Amino acid sequence: MSETAVIIEREGPVGLIGFDNPPVNAASHALRVGLKEGIDAFAADAGVKVIALYGVGRSFVAGADIREFGKGRKEPLLNALITEIEALDKPVVAICHGYALGGGLELALGCHTRVAIAGLTVGFPEVDLGLLPGAGGTQRMPRLTGVTAALDLIPTGKRIKADEAVALGLFDTLTDGDPRTVAVASGQAVIDGTLATRRTCDLSVDVDPEVIAAAKAKAAAKGKLVAPMKAIEAVAAARLPIAEGLAEEVRLFQECLAHPQRAALVHAFFAERAVAKIPEKDATPREVASLAVIGGGTMGSGIATAALIAGLPVTLMEVSDEALARGRGTIEKNLAGALKRRKLTEEKHDAALARLTTTTAVDALAGADLVIEAVFEDMDVKKEIFRKLDAVMEPGAVLASNTSYLDIDAIAAETGRPADVLGLHFFSPAHIMRLLEIVVAEKTAPEVVATGFALAKRLGKVGVRAGVCDGFIGNRILSHYRKVADYLVMDGASPQEIDSALEDFGFAMGPFAVADLAGLDIGMMTRKRLAPTRDPRERYVPIADRICERGWFGRKTGQGYYLYGDREGPNPAVAGIIEEERAEAGITPREITDDEIVERYMTAMIAEGARVLEDGIAQRPVDIDAVFLFGYGFPRFRGGPMFYADTIGAAELVRRIETYAEDDAFFWRVPPLLARMAADGTTFADLDERA
């Protein structure tokens, strides 16, 4: 890589500027300096008749350098460079391959013609980062494609392939070949007059106010994101002369840059990648060419579906042909759903199904490189299965349990190969939810951990390293903060008030709606399992038990906290149970605001997160953020619980817990880590930096 991240060469009359800033040619300051130098040099060189920009390595420019946001602006700025290029009196051609995203696509739009190389993906993903295209994209795309197409891409972050980009008029030609070679040929074609050029800014565009209004209504209906709405406003400014439109775009971009949602969404972007940086990252993962799944229930079938979609052959084992038929049926339904959602082509759907074999004999699993046990949560059953696996699996096979909370060390101890055992905790529906908790037991070998992460990547999942404890990272924290919702009901809030407050905060669903969806009997079994170890000092709320006693398990029985089917809404019978239990506990219900609901709920989540860090169950705060962003519907525009904690501050969190502890000193305890952070001003971001 050259020190300015740019290679400047001449091929006869063609001035070549190659972007060489691995891994994705982000438009870093170094790249912008190099681009400016190249443009200035070729503008002054009478022998250069045309300038061609292209990407070295896997991509054109994949956008501005996201790591530079919030760190001050360093000249030359990308938008100024693009306007300078557009104004040049020498033609500039952009040759794009791999990715031309965000600022990379904007750079191409400022050039005088654009050549797409087969396989190119383009788009404006800025809104996914809480931003909008800030280097002319909102002004130039409408001039090339019209406002409707611009409103399809810019406020949505949608990415499209080369052929569609050409059809829209974003690109002028589609070819194939090596980017540098195509750059020289395209430059020559411009000189020969066989490749037309024109300035995008010279094009005009009609902006229909009704189209803008419709786009705003659509964006508003989608929820709380600020950037899409501002992106639409920026596109509307394309009705102005370009200099005014560009100025309006900058103004709106700066508003997005300053908004808390931008910092949170950028954090979420990097969180998804940071979690792969584990102590075992240099260990060589074992080859996984075939997978076995034991258990054809919801989870086992979901896991099998995910593996089949990823191209792996899967052997599904169950105890009987009837159970196998049910499992196969669930897999076929899952695959049909993926086909319907256009996640799979017909061909890939059929190939996936063809890779499935089923068996009732554990010996048939012997040749699998990795086996995932996904039977019901009974330790004795799991131990029995792992004893059998230990007897039949080839040496070197990886043995995994999908358990959501049981002790992987105890399971591993049932085998003579504990180094080959780990937890692979999928989240339902396993072929859709992206989180995979990779649970590392005491004796799990580094290459087995690395194998878990390689499998996560292969399945398109976000693997997060977790230690062994009841519930690992996510479910341990969930079981703590979920109690706050029950306490709030006892103290005066209704389940729907709590759900509504948390959905306003940004959760996809509130805790009671989630409980109804998952099945209230699941929670009942967990409470029964934990009853023998429950501390008598713990405040226990029997409301859910009372609901379950009536056989009301939520959505699957037609009623739980809510009514389902033809009778929608809160279940009036539950209100009666709540009143009885409050009276039984001698509680006079009090008014509880949405703010208090969110503050208590989030404070409990953060406090248990701090304890999970202290216990070493999660490596870093960012791992906890990733768990909740990708497995628990935590609002992405808030960055995750630990990122959100930093917006409150440790001192305020400690103050809240100490206040709440006046009524319940057992549940509300200040985690020592949080106390230390409050005392020395450390943030969770600091802990991530130091990790």
Question: Which one of residues 5, 6, 14, 24 is an interface residue with ligand T1G (CB under 6 A)?
Answer: 24
Span interacting with ligand T1G, options 18-26, 142-150, 310-318, 451-459, rule CB under 6 A:
18-26
Give the residue among 504, 476, 483 at the shortest CA–CA distance from 631.
476
C-beta of 105: minimal distance to ligand T1G in Å? 8
64 lies in the site for ligand T1G, by CB under 6 A: yes
Give the residue among 64, 28, 102 at the shortest CA–CA distance from 4.
28
Q: Considering beta carbons, is residue 57 or 367 the nearer one to ligand T1G?
A: 57
Backbone torsions φ then ψ of 93, nearest 5 degrees: -115, 140
Non-local (6+) Cβ contacts of 188 within 8 A are: 12, 13, 14
C-beta of 237: minimal distance to ligand T1G in Å? 15
**Residue 327: Cβ within 10 Å count:** 23
The distance in angstroms from the start CA to the end CA of the chain is 28
CA 647 to chain centre: 21
Q: Considering beta carbons, is residue 33 or 520 the nearer one to ligand T1G?
A: 33
User: 63's torsion region: left (phi>0), alpha (psi -120 to 50) or beta?
Assistant: left
Q: Considering beta carbons, is residue 31 or 673 the nearer one to ligand T1G?
A: 31
Non-local (6+) Cβ contacts of 289 within 8 A are: 312, 313, 369
Rounded alpha-carbon distances, angstroms, from residue 240 to 203, 246, 250, 518: 12, 9, 14, 52
106 lies in the site for ligand T1G, by CB under 6 A: yes
Q: Considering beta carbons, is residue 78 or 548 the nearer one to ligand T1G?
A: 78
Span interacting with ligand T1G, options 65-73, 180-188, 201-209, 539-547, rule CB under 6 A:
65-73
67 lies in the site for ligand T1G, by CB under 6 A: yes
Q: Considering beta carbons, is residue 110 or 511 the nearer one to ligand T1G?
A: 110
Span interacting with ligand T1G, options 6-14, 62-70, 574-582, 654-662, rule CB under 6 A:
62-70
Which tokens go with 44? 């002054």
Helix (H) or strand (E) run with residue 116 in it: strand 113-117
Assess contact for 402 and 425: CB atoms under 8 A.
yes
Binding mask 376-415 for ligand T1G (x = CB under 6 A): ----------------------------------------
C-beta of 274: minimal distance to ligand T1G in Å? 7
Span interacting with ligand T1G, options 130-138, 189-197, 622-630, 643-651, rule CB under 6 A:
130-138
Rounded alpha-carbon distances, angstroms, from residue 481 to 182, 455, 651: 58, 31, 19
Span interacting with ligand T1G, options 129-137, 239-247, 318-326, 417-425, rule CB under 6 A:
129-137
List, by residue number, the catalytic residues: 106, 126
Report H helices in 18-136: 29-44, 78-87, 103-110
C-beta of 32: minimal distance to ligand T1G in Å? 11
Number of helices (H) and strands (E), helices first, in the chain?
29, 19
Q: Considering beta carbons, is residue 50 or 129 the nearer one to ligand T1G?
A: 129
Residue count of the chain, please give it: 691
C-beta of 68: minimal distance to ligand T1G in Å? 8
110 lies in the site for ligand T1G, by CB under 6 A: no
Binding mask 466-495 for ligand T1G (x = CB under 6 A): ------------------------------
688 lies in the site for ligand T1G, by CB under 6 A: no
Question: Which one of residues 63, 302, 327, 554 is an interface residue with ligand T1G (CB under 6 A)?
Answer: 63
Strand ranges of the sheet holding 121-123, from the earlier edge strand across to the other edge: 99-101, 121-123, 159-161
CA-CA distance, 2 to 18, in Å (whole number)? Answer: 10
Residue with tokens 């404890």: 469
C-beta of 3: minimal distance to ligand T1G in Å? 18
CA-CA distance, 371 to 378, in Å (whole number)? Answer: 18
CA-CA distance, 196 to 142, in Å (whole number)? Answer: 20
123 lies in the site for ligand T1G, by CB under 6 A: no
Q: Considering beta carbons, is residue 236 or 485 the nearer one to ligand T1G?
A: 236
Rounded alpha-carbon distances, angstroms, from residue 570 to 510, 513, 553, 628: 13, 10, 14, 27
> By rule CB under 6 A, what count of residues binds ligand T1G?
24
Q: Considering beta carbons, is residue 78 or 316 the nearer one to ligand T1G?
A: 78
26 lies in the site for ligand T1G, by CB under 6 A: yes
C-beta of 346: minimal distance to ligand T1G in Å? 26
CA 153 to chain centre: 20
Residues 70-99 that bind ligand T1G (CB under 6 A): 78, 99
Non-local (6+) Cβ contacts of 37 within 8 A are: 4, 6, 8
C-beta of 31: minimal distance to ligand T1G in Å? 11
Q: Which amino acid is at 511?
A: P
Q: Which amino acid is at 200?
A: T
C-beta of 66: minimal distance to ligand T1G in Å? 4
Span interacting with ligand T1G, options 21-29, 107-115, 548-556, 681-689, rule CB under 6 A:
21-29
Q: Considering beta carbons, is residue 10 or 67 the nearer one to ligand T1G?
A: 67
Question: Which one of residues 6, 14, 39, 62 is an interface residue with ligand T1G (CB under 6 A)?
Answer: 62
Long-range contacts of 580-584 (CB under 8 A, 24+ apart): 580/546, 581/490, 581/541, 581/542, 581/543, 581/546, 582/490
Residues 243-302 that bind ligand T1G (CB under 6 A): 273
Give the residue among 358, 343, 261 at the shortest CA–CA distance from 306.
343
C-beta of 638: minimal distance to ligand T1G in Å? 19
Q: Which amino acid is at 568?
A: E
66 lies in the site for ligand T1G, by CB under 6 A: yes
Q: Considering beta carbons, is residue 69 or 564 the nearer one to ligand T1G?
A: 69
C-beta of 102: minimal distance to ligand T1G in Å? 3
134 lies in the site for ligand T1G, by CB under 6 A: yes
Question: Which one of residues 115, 131, 190, 450 is an interface residue with ligand T1G (CB under 6 A)?
Answer: 131
Residues 135-154 that bind ligand T1G (CB under 6 A): 135, 137
Assess contact for 115 and 94: CB atoms under 8 A.
yes
Span interacting with ligand T1G, options 122-130, 297-305, 354-362, 527-535, rule CB under 6 A:
122-130
101 lies in the site for ligand T1G, by CB under 6 A: yes
Binding mask 570-599 for ligand T1G (x = CB under 6 A): ------------------------------
C-beta of 277: minimal distance to ligand T1G in Å? 7
CA-CA distance, 655 to 670, in Å (whole number)? Answer: 9
Cis check: omega of the bond before 91, within 30 degrees of 0: no
Rounded alpha-carbon distances, angstroms, from residue 519 to 104, 333, 437, 523, 556: 47, 21, 22, 7, 7
- 360-397 in b/e burial notation, b at 16+ Cβ within 10 A? eebeebbebbbbbbbbebeeeebbebbebbbeebeeeb
Question: Which one of residues 34, 35, 51, 65 is an interface residue with ligand T1G (CB under 6 A)?
Answer: 65
Q: Considering beta carbons, is residue 102 or 296 the nearer one to ligand T1G?
A: 102
C-beta of 40: minimal distance to ligand T1G in Å? 21
Interacting residue ranges for ligand T1G, rule: CB under 6 A: 23-24, 26, 62-67, 78, 99, 101-103, 106, 125-126, 129, 131, 133-135, 137, 273
